[in-house]
Amino acid sequence: MQNNSRWHILENADQVAQAACRHILEAAQQAIAEQGQFRLVLAGGSTPEKVYRLLAQADADWPRWYIYYGDERCLPVADKDRNSFMATQSFLEKVAIPDANIFTIPAEQGPEKAAQRYQQTIADALPFDLVLLGMGEDGHTASLFPGHQHPDQELAHAVYNAPKPPPERVSLSAKALSSTGQLIFLITGTSKQEAVKNWRLGQDLPVAAIVPENPVDIYIDHAAYDS
Ligand code: 6PG
């Protein structure tokens, strides 16, 4: 694992969310001041929801935010299990980010076609300003799962037989996720302890394949960190 990772070990999931929200807002201010826009990649799963709800209450220069997704589940557009459904309900529909600035993965079209289409979207966006990622109990991140092989040069992968339902997904590649000025991992809860321990021991997990030039910031609670 990168020795220049910055571990922010906090009391509980609420403190993790508050610290990550502050970090994201600061990164946005800096990016907008320097280049007039902020390109943010949202994480899926359930952990980020607390962060998104805090962002929805913040005051920011929303029209200059551009939103991408690290992965998406191949489900119908309005399916409540889509990552875009949670991000929209908890955050995006509550702030004035223009719809044209939100780049949802067309995962309802199936893994292959959606990955091809999103590949171009990502190519036009790189490098990101900040990437948000979670981590699964097996050390997966986005929809990059242990033991799955993908062409290194792809920016977006079609994912089949994912061990975490649904089986078909689209994921940004490690290469695309690493092409960012800043990267935050959000990790909470005792269920992540084993994967965190193995990551720290240097195990070759998907989370360890995300290696931006700059240090990554890992916001983690004691429940996930202490083992
Ligand atoms: C997904 C996510 C996935 C998630 C981790 C952690 O589609 O499920 O992209 O990578 O971030 O599995 O999920 P939790 O935050 O729910 O623990």
Q: How many CB atoms lie within 10 A of CB 170?
A: 30
Residue 170 confidence class, pLDDT cut points 50, 70, 90: very high
pLDDT (0 to 100) of residue 227: 80
Identity at 132, one-letter amino acid code: L
Q: What is the pLDDT of residues 51-68, one digit of tens each?
A: 999 999 999 999 999 999
Task: Take residue 203 and report the two structure tokens written for it.
Answer: 């195990």
Residue 4 confidence class, pLDDT cut points 50, 70, 90: confident
Question: pLDDT at residue 91 above 60?
Answer: yes
State what percent of residues in the chain have pLDDT above 70: 99
Q: What is the pLDDT of residues 176-203, one digit of tens each?
A: 999 999 999 999 999 999 999 999 999 9
pLDDT (0 to 100) of residue 2: 55
Task: Take residue 128 and report the two structure tokens written for it.
Answer: 């990101």
Distance 48 CA to ligand 1 centre (A): 9
Distance 171 CA to ligand 1 centre (A): 12
Q: How many CB atoms lie within 10 A of CB 40?
A: 22
CB distance 8 to 221 below 8 Å: no
The full set of domain ranges for the chain reads 5-221
Residue 143 confidence class, pLDDT cut points 50, 70, 90: very high
Question: pLDDT at residue 85 above 70?
Answer: yes
Helix or strand or coil: residue 151?
Answer: coil
Atom of ligand 1 nearest to the CA of 143: 10
pLDDT (0 to 100) of residue 3: 66
Q: Is the CB of 134 under 6 A from ligand 1?
A: yes
> Helix H segments across the chain?
13-35, 49-55, 83-90, 111-123, 174-178, 193-200, 222-225
CA angle 194, 210, 6 (to 5 degrees): 70
Question: pLDDT at residue 1 above 60?
Answer: no
pLDDT (0 to 100) of residue 225: 97
Could you report how far apart the first and last alpha carbons of the chain are, in Å?
18
5-221 under CATH 3.30.230.10, yes or no:
no
Burial of 202 (0-12, 13-18, 19+ CB in 10 A): exposed
Question: What's 47's DSSP letter?
Answer: T
